[in-house]
Amino acid sequence: MAVATHKELIAPHGGRLVDRTGERPEDVDRLETVRLTPRELSDLDMIACGALSPLEGFMGRDDYESVVESMHLTSGLPWALPVCLAVERSPQGDRIALADASGRLRAVLDVDEVFEYDKEREAERCFRTTEEEHPGVARLYAQHENYVSGCVTVFERAEPAFPELARDPAETREVFAERGWKRVVGFQTRNPIHRAHEYLTKVALETVDGLLIHPLVGETKSDDVPAATRVACYRVLVDNYYPAERVLVSSFPAAMRYAGPREAIWHAICRKNYGCSHFIVGRDHAGVGSYYGTYDAQLIFDEFEPHELDIEPMFFEHSFFCRTCGSMASAKTCPHPADDHVFLSGTKVREMLGNGELPPVEFSRPEVAKVLIDAYR
Ligand SMILES: [Zn+2]
């Protein structure tokens, strides 16, 4: 196989990878400081490393309005979700320091503008609901009333949750090029991988050169499976059931927004920056509760012109083991009735794992189930 060069990988969104890391300014301690929420800190770090290319800072009003209304930046590039920094009041100076929740200084922002925004409208457009029960909407409603925009310079990156898995877009691209991968499929996950997910990642891998398993490790709802447990599951699964030279497990530092369809687009664009040419979109991607229709996260890709996003979505159905087919399958490929399928509800699986019981091997790899059983104890 010919070895891929960086040139052969998909181009970053907007054409080049942004790098907003830089030196700590001498006067930073004298600047007015804004403390970031975990979501804003994730966004900051992703701007710094180019995961949110072409963004070089938090969005200004024109880009914000354009993204909320029509899922495009003013430059015309697709972009699905606001990346904004909420502040209580207008800063005094033209430069502010950005700190994490503990007050440790991380970056400076050169203030471009401060503007008010309509939370209900942002919720309605981006989350398709104004209900406060929605975790993304709740977070939005809890924010300060103004957004401050401007270019950032990050002088101290956030400590990665899993240093051994932390790879910036430039680094994943390096790995892909070294391995000679040109076409790479990205898989977003915030859940342990059971047989169904293993199946669809492998079906996708059959058609490309490599697979990036890219678990989200930023802030999630408190009832999602903790990142440390999920990461342990990916490790045992990949070590035992995937060919090492065709898979890369790396962490995705984003916080969950639970914006369903729009987040699927946003996730795809981010993965393009990491060097993925393809992106897996399952049913109810990035959804929560029953706020989104089963296929909404797939249908939204039709709202863009063909090849406008450049990264190619790969749509998947729920899959299961079918006893009659004798293999993993989905409603698309198996003609047999539900009785033939090994299906367990999420509640049932949690109950079994909580009791220390292994789910059927057709549902979950025993190595993965053991990690989860230990975690539930
Ligand atoms: Zn079947």
Catalytic residue among 20, 128, 190, 271: 190
Running DSSP on this structure, what letter comes out for residue 164? G
Give me the pLDDT at residue 221, please.
75
240 in active site: no
Catalytic residue among 191, 246, 283, 350: 191
pLDDT in tens, the chain (377 residues): 455 667 789 999 999 999 999 999 999 999 999 999 999 999 999 999 999 999 999 999 999 999 999 999 999 999 999 999 999 999 999 999 999 999 999 999 999 999 999 999 999 999 999 999 999 999 999 999 999 999 999 999 988 888 999 999 999 999 999 999 999 999 998 888 899 999 999 999 999 999 999 998 888 777 778 888 988 999 999 999 999 999 999 999 999 999 999 999 999 999 999 999 999 998 888 888 889 999 999 999 999 998 999 999 999 999 999 999 999 999 999 999 999 999 888 889 889 999 999 999 999 999 999 999 999 88
Would you say the pTM of this structure is higher than 0.75?
Answer: yes
- The amino acid that residue 30 corresponds to is R
Task: Give the list of residues 6+ apart from residue 27 with CB closer than 8 angstroms, or none.
Answer: none
How would you label 27-47 residue by residue, b for 16+ Cβ within 10 Å and e otherwise?
ebeebeebebbebbbbbbbbb
Interatomic CA distance for residues 157 and 170, integer angstroms = 15
Tell me which residue has tokens 């930023």: 218
Residue 66 and residue 183 in contact, taking contact as beta carbons nearer than 8 Å: no
Work out the widest C-alpha separation in the chain, in whole angstroms.
Answer: 70
| Residue 66 CA, ligand 1 centroid: distance in Å | 46
| Residue 294 CA, ligand 1 centroid: distance in Å | 22
Q: At what angle do helices 366-376 and 346-354 cross, to 10 degrees?
A: 70
| Residue 301 CA, ligand 1 centroid: distance in Å | 29
104 in active site: no
Give me the pLDDT at residue 4, please.
60
| Residue 325 CA, ligand 1 centroid: distance in Å | 4
- The amino acid that residue 118 corresponds to is D
46 token code pair:
């992703």
For residue 317, what are the CA distances in angstroms to 72, 342, 346?
A: 28, 15, 17
At residue 372, the 3 state secondary structure works out as helix
| Residue 330 CA, ligand 1 centroid: distance in Å | 8
Interatomic CA distance for residues 187 and 120, integer angstroms = 31
Extended beta strands in 41-200, E state = 57-58, 85-87, 95-99, 105-116, 146-154, 184-189
